[in-house]
Amino acid sequence: MGYKILIADDEAEIRDVLRLYLEKDGYEVTEAADGVEAMEKLRKEKPDLVILDIMMPGLDGYRVLRNIREDDNIPVIMLSAKDTDSDKILGLDMGADDYITKPFAPLEAVARVNSNIRRFYSLGARGGRDKDKAVKELRVQDLRLDLDACLLYRAEEMIELTSVEFRIMKLFMEEPGKVFTKQQLYEQGWGDEYLVSDNNIMVCISKLRSKLDSDGREYIKTIRGLGYRMEK
């Protein structure tokens, strides 16, 4: 596949298992045992996706994620023994693309990596690294979505998006006025089968609205019992 995965976790056994399964699936793997080393590997090796443990010495996973999102929008999968909704929401709200709870099945982790790699890079959304591409845009109201830079503009204000937010905004802005179900949004944003109890969609829509405006409902409407639509 040619994609490089950074595994940042202070448990060597978890890194070893993930490396074994990811390399078997064709990925190049690099490792970090703490948050400081993770930041060094990010700068030097520029991975295509990061699997990031929350509880690490030096810098914890949340601080590493915050640093990543300051200048890059690569997919980040949070890895943690914490499985409460508040922990998941915090990670997603800070810009994570996915969340895996320990203990986990290695094949599930590989499937989530595959899903995030496929959905993110098949859209050509790798931030500012592919600067030679012709710029493509979608426009709705005063919003402009730069498909190459994975950036959203409201008037002249730049709004940074996570890869999940980008994919959902792209879906909305390609067909403004169309109602999308939670299942459609989830499968577009996360590339996985939708689970009825999953609240990721609600969190993501809320985050998008807050980024768009103090009253983001002017852009993204809730259609009760059906889903959501982008206003024309």
Chain-centre distance of CA 203, in angstroms?
13
Instruction: Name the pTM for this structure.
Output: 0.57
pLDDT tens, residue order, the chain (232 aa): 478 999 999 999 999 999 999 999 889 999 999 999 999 999 999 999 999 999 898 889 999 999 998 888 889 999 988 766 677 777 777 888 888 888 889 999 999 898 888 878 765 444 444 433 333 788 888 888 888 778 899 887 898 888 888 889 998 988 888 899 888 888 888 776 666 556 778 888 988 998 887 666 789 999 988 899 998 8
